[in-house]
Amino acid sequence: MSQHLPREPGDIEIARDATYYRAPETLRSSVQTLVFAAARDEARPRLRRAAGLAAAFAAVAVVTWNVALFQAAPSREDMFAHEVLAAHVRSLMAPGRLNDVESTDQHTVKPWFAGKLDFTPPVRDLAAEGFPLAGGRLDYVDGRTVAEMTYRRRLHAVGLFVWPEPREGDAAIKQRTLNGYSLATWHRGGMRYWAVTDAAPIELTHFAELLEGG
Amino acid sequence: MPHLDAAYNLARWLTRNDDDAEDVVQEAFVRAYRFFDSLKEDEARPWLLAIVRNCAFTWLRKNRPSDVVALDDTAPISEDTPTLGHAAPSDSNPEVILLQNASRKLVNQALEDLPVGFREVLVMRELEDLSYKEIASVAGIPIGTVMSRLSRGRDMLREALELRLKRAS
């Protein structure tokens, strides 16, 4: 195979004549280390909270069903994921009430939020990228009023929740699925973002990367 | 680690550099790992490749912005498409080139010199064996565009090789 010479450029076959670069062994182990470390960092606060809960339970009578509750002690991020999904699904269920303001124009949606929130959500039009804006609404997550912008992806709705969350530095996109929905979260410029959709996970990846990159 | 070779191969062809490809793959896996379990096997590879692609393009925009130019998918291929064969083969002795596993080197170089928008669809189709539909979802472009880029990309590759072989002989 390596002796094959393309004297005629017409008989090039990329699959045969170009290199398939296989991952070096060093990369395999470094990726493994990184992924394990990331998983451990995420699990740690959960364990600590579980330990705290265990102590609390020990102090009072432990009711059997509480054990199940304790084992499932969710991380803060897990709780947000559930809250955001619930808020989004509720808005889809209420007939005709997906959005409080319906507009494809960011210059209509953005002013609508003014005066209703103690922060200014960044409203962007992504129609050119295949995610036209559909409107905006208010909801309640983590004990505060938050903004949800709604975008369309063909026949699917994509909800984008935003609220201020002080922290040092930004956080890259993390994605997950929950009850068949895809969720992504990241932090940028003092704001926490949660995106949720029933479209394919890969579509949400594009959506999140567009917003995070911009 | 599932699909690590596929991730590395795409990153390597997009960044055209071993070290940068490793950085891109590491970042992609950190972003992706949590989600892996919930995906069906046939969804996982295109999805991971989409993350790799996004990480690679973010990297390119930051470090080599001239690599990332928007493609005009309606334009016919002009005679003087600027990317064709402007880089000379690194070894200019024709006999050496032809004898030392020349074909692979020539094809690799010609493919590397294609604009990234053509290079990525060719790599995904020919080396990763993705379907048109999968390529469309990874690159975020319509299927028709995938097909026209594949066809134009193959033409450009052929022309670039003609030029290189002419120079070498």
Look at residue B148 and tell me if it is in a domain: yes
User: Domain of B14?
Assistant: 4-67
Residue A173: CB atoms within 10 A of its CB come to 23
| Nearest residue of B to residue A175, measured between CA atoms | B35
Record: fold of A76-213: Phosphorylase Kinase; domain 1 (3.30.200)
User: Does A40 reach chain B within 8 Å, measured CB to CB?
Assistant: no
For residues B18 and B58, state if they share a domain: yes
Look at residue B118 and tell me if it is in a domain: yes
pLDDT in tens, A156-204: 999 999 999 988 888 888 888 888 899 999 999 899 999 999 998 888 9
Give ipTM to 2 decimals: 0.81
Q: How many angstroms separate the CA atoms of A25 and A29, rounded?
A: 6
Look at residue B82 and tell me if it is in a domain: no
| Alpha helix (H) residue ranges in A18-172 | 25-59, 64-71, 76-93, 106-113
Answer yes or no: do B161 and A12 touch at CB < 8 A. Answer: yes
pTM of the model: 0.63
| CATH 3.30.200.100 in chain A, residue ranges | 76-213
For residues B50 and B109, state if they share a domain: no
- The CATH number of whichever domain residue B100 belongs to comes to 1.10.10.10
Residue position matching structure tokens 């070779």: B5
Look at residue B61 and tell me if it is in a domain: yes
For residues B102 and B164, state if they share a domain: yes
Identify the residue among A11, A19, A77, A185 best suited for mutation to test binding to B, counting B beta carbons within 10 A and taking the highest.
Answer: A19
Q: What is the pLDDT along chain B (169 residues), one digit of tens a residue?
A: 789 999 999 999 999 999 999 999 998 888 887 666 666 677 788 989 999 999 999 899 888 888 887 777 765 544 444 443 334 444 555 554 454 466 788 889 999 999 999 999 999 999 999 999 999 999 988 999 999 999 999 999 999 988 887 887 7
Q: How many angstroms away from the CA of A63 is the closest CA of chain B? A: 32
- DSSP H or E stretch at residue B165: helix B143-168
Look at residue B84 and tell me if it is in a domain: no
Boundary (domain end) residue, out of B48, B67, B86: B67
Look at residue B104 and tell me if it is in a domain: yes
Look at residue B77 and tell me if it is in a domain: no
- Phi-psi sector, A193: left (phi>0), alpha (psi -120 to 50), beta: beta
| Nearest residue of B to residue A174, measured between CA atoms | B31
